[in-house]
Chain A
Amino acid sequence: MTEVVAPSPPPSPPVARAASGLSRRLDGVLLTLIAGAVLLWFLPVGMGRYGTYVLTLWLVTSIAVMGLNLTLGIAGLKSLAQAAFMGIGAYTTAILGTKFGVDWYSCFLLSGLLSFAVGLLLGFPALRVKAHYLAFVTLAFATLVWLVFRNEQWLTGGTFGIANIARPTLFGIRTDGALAFHRFVVVVTLVLALALWWLIRSPWGRAFLALRENPIRAASLGVDIRAYTLLAFAIGSAYGGFAGALYSPLVEFIDPSPFALSASFMLLLMVVAGGSGYQLGPFVGALVAVALPEWLRFTGGLYLIVFGVVVLLLLIACPQGILGLAERGWNALRARLGAGAAEPSR
């Protein structure tokens, strides 16, 4: 597998070796992202609208998980508010699009910007509280946002939601069809994933990592803890907003239920199940949470129970997520073959 970073053991190899190993891994991530996008462009052909819809929903969810992966998996800040940011993006797009006729691209950018700004504000408590306490702060925020979605009917439609959300047009080509919209989402997802790929391998990404591994040491090396904590929250939140901006036209209807606290827990589960800190982890985690229940429908009324058991077993078997398990297996294989045994797994 091709991962950028893994949570343990803590990275402390010599700089040159790390740079060489890192660049090799990053190239692998880049190739996987591009190859995956090409595959996903053609995959739905002949798949039917349902299969295409599930694939698109998976990608949209992956974007939100990418953001949470940055906040939690890479910067180590525990957030339970990602679904709320997704909701902020979804409602921004839906309200501006349906009530004010704003085009989707502007809605998309504004959704990301608004989520970024709100994430920045939410980041301030993160400067004062850590770990579980931070999770509680974000939990309270998520509940508050959900109440606004539900109770401010004049703006959000309340429990009745907002219907008939239009899909975007690209160079005069409408994306109303399932396949056209899927391909549109593939392109947007690729752009956002590449941006994150670049961010993580930039000095900013290394600062985020330092923030997670040892904030005091990072501060002693000149990393502005305050700024990077806020940025980690804000960028992760913006990705939630971008996902919401795609979710609205995908479902063409929104109400508060997909952005409730339980949805934030599901997004957290996706980060952990995929592999917290791995750049491809969000895609794997979202696949587990979005596609697996659909595949398990053949079990009839038991499908959610089976899903719960599978996730439970998965987390017991590989607490570092699926990609963590894959990396462990890969390293074990390499050690057995005598190649690269000296290099620590990361």
Chain B
Amino acid sequence: MTRFTRAGVFALATTLALAVVGPATAQERVKLINVVELSGAGATAGTQWRNGIDLAVADINARGGILGRQIDIVHYDTQTNPGNTRAAVQRAIDEGTYSVLGPVFSGPIGASMQIAQRAEIAQIVGGEAAGLTRQGNQFLFRTSLSQAAAMPKLATYLKETVKANRIAIVWVNNDFGKGGRDAMLPELQQRGIQVALDVSTEQGQADFTADAIRIRNANVDAVFVYLNEDESARFLLAARQQNVGKPMIGETTLLGARVIQLAGEAANGARGHVGLSIDAPVPAFQDFGRRYQARFGIASDHNGLKGYMAVHMIKWATERMGRFDRKGVADTLRGATITPQMEPGILITTRIEANGDLDRESFLAEVEGGRQVIRSTLPMIRP
């Protein structure tokens, strides 16, 4: 009985000690909340983004955290619905997130960006639609080039390298695909390239046979493909089956590892501009790609890289300030240039414009023998 009582007293004392130590331990942690598309139409992109974040958090925590504090990461699903996104971002802010990570789709970003702005908290997003950074929001930051930055490079490539004068555009009718098409059209017009066929497709579309036949029958020099990764693979397969036989030109979503994995041999010959790719001739990208594959069992696309960089942008800004300051993160990021020497997790030199856009080197690539081969490196727009 006496021994039991002693044990009880010891347990009570330990509990009390932990209760006292608990708050101190909690102070040594920093909470980050990721609000992203884990179900609904954006689930593929959102899952990659989440995985990239999880890998970044694991890396940072293994190296001692941010200014000695370990990161607690929480993921909230938006169901790819603007109303739910808004609720989730509000919840993230109410729960004291240090910065908001996500979402990836531009619509849900548009629905939630005002909340982070009002709370004066940095929001690091995966969206690429040009309009997001034209609204004067000082707290919104991209993790990739905007479509407005990428499309001139692609249009020049079509004109000068592919020598195309008449092209077909195949695009997915969501904010990503429509945004890319709308940004591309004036660039093509400026360079005297005629759009002979404009093919709108649906998100999640399974059969591209009819689209491929239309393109085969059109008198075009090349096809500009601007679809999400899974749809890109399906389109390439349909184009191969229908013997389209035209150069397939696209962006990161046409040349990524996932497309090659799904389309197999049909992906060979696809080429174009790549912003973030684990196959790019950047050792840090390739190392990230290997570790991502090892941890999650799938190849990372550009969204995985974006999620990884997003957390490191916050880490860099905080360490640069030398303190945890929510508003300060946005102030520090705006106008900054982060190099891999300053922060290895940023992977590639990145300049953050005053409006939240990014500038980076990018690549021209081609799929050859089931691998993405980088043909040349394009410099930053304003080196």
Range of interface residues on A (Cβ < 8 Å): 20 to 34
* B131 interface residue per 8 A CB criterion: yes
**Which of B77, B94, B131, B179 touches A49 (beta carbons < 8 Å)?**
B94
* A344 interface residue per 8 A CB criterion: no
What 1/0 flags go to A149-175 for Cβ under 8 Å of B?
Answer: 011010000111101100000000000
Contacts of B91 in A (CB 8 A): 50
Contacts of B75 in A (CB 8 A): 300-301
Contacts of A297 in B (CB 8 A): 76-77
Are the C-beta atoms of B82 and A160 separated by less than 8 Å? Answer: no
> Closest approach, in angstroms, between the C-beta of B347 and any C-beta of chain A?
27
Contacts of A257 in B (CB 8 A): 41, 80-82, 107
* B306 interface residue per 8 A CB criterion: no
* B106 interface residue per 8 A CB criterion: yes
Tell me if A's interface is mostly helix, strand, loop or mixed.
helix
Per the bound structure, the CA–CA distance linking A67 and B129 in Å amounts to 36
Are the C-beta atoms of B87 and A303 separated by less than 8 Å? Answer: no
Are the C-beta atoms of A160 and B106 separated by less than 8 Å? Answer: yes
In B84-130, the 8 Å CB interface with A consists of 86-87, 90-91, 93-95, 106-107, 110-111, 114, 129
What 1/0 flags go to A239-279 for Cβ under 8 Å of B?
Answer: 00000000100111111011000000000000000000000
Are the C-beta atoms of B83 and A159 separated by less than 8 Å? Answer: no
Per the bound structure, the CA–CA distance linking A304 and B78 in Å amounts to 11
Q: A49-B94, A150-B173 are in contact. Are A161 and B87 (CB under 8 A)?
A: no
Are the C-beta atoms of B76 and A252 separated by less than 8 Å? Answer: no
* B135 interface residue per 8 A CB criterion: yes
Contacts of B107 in A (CB 8 A): 159-161, 253, 255, 257
Task: List, sorted by A's number, 28 A–B pairs whose CB atoms are closer than 8 Å.
Answer: A48-B94, A49-B94, A50-B87, A50-B90, A54-B87, A151-B173, A159-B173, A159-B175, A160-B106, A160-B110, A161-B110, A164-B114, A178-B90, A250-B83, A251-B82, A251-B83, A251-B111, A252-B114, A255-B82, A255-B110, A255-B175, A257-B41, A257-B80, A294-B87, A297-B76, A300-B75, A301-B75, A303-B77
Could you tell me which A residues sit within 8 Å of B by CB distance? 48-51, 53-54, 57, 150-151, 153, 158-161, 163-164, 178, 247, 250-255, 257-258, 294, 297, 300-301, 303-304
Could you tell me which B residues sit within 8 Å of A by CB distance? 38-39, 41, 75-77, 79-83, 86-87, 90-91, 93-95, 106-107, 110-111, 114, 129, 131, 135, 173-175, 178-179
